[in-house]
Amino acid sequence: MKVALERIKEYSELQTEPPEFVEPRPPASWPSEGEIVCESLVIRYAVRCYKVVILVCLILSFSPTFPMYCTT
């Protein structure tokens, strides 16, 4: 069993996470258009649980003239 000081020493020697933002950043207008497509999505709370979400298809699209729309 570790004591508190051993844990502090162990945690202080962990590698740090990378920076939140990486330079060079993409332009503020990026992405100018695109879409996210999700097909045949099934979500469960655990492996042996019932399916809580069954999604056949979800399409999220956006463009400069039409910010976002959703089709399910």
Question: Strand, coil or helix: what is 9?
Answer: helix
Examine residue 24 and say whether the peptide bond preceding it is cis (omega within 30 degrees of 0). Answer: yes
Mean pLDDT of 26-36: 78
Q: With bands split at pLDDT 50, 70 and 90, how would you rate the model's confidence at 68?
A: low
Residue ranges per structural domain of the chain:
4-71
Percent of the chain with pLDDT over 70: 85
Tokens of 25: 């950043």
Tokens of 19: 């920076």
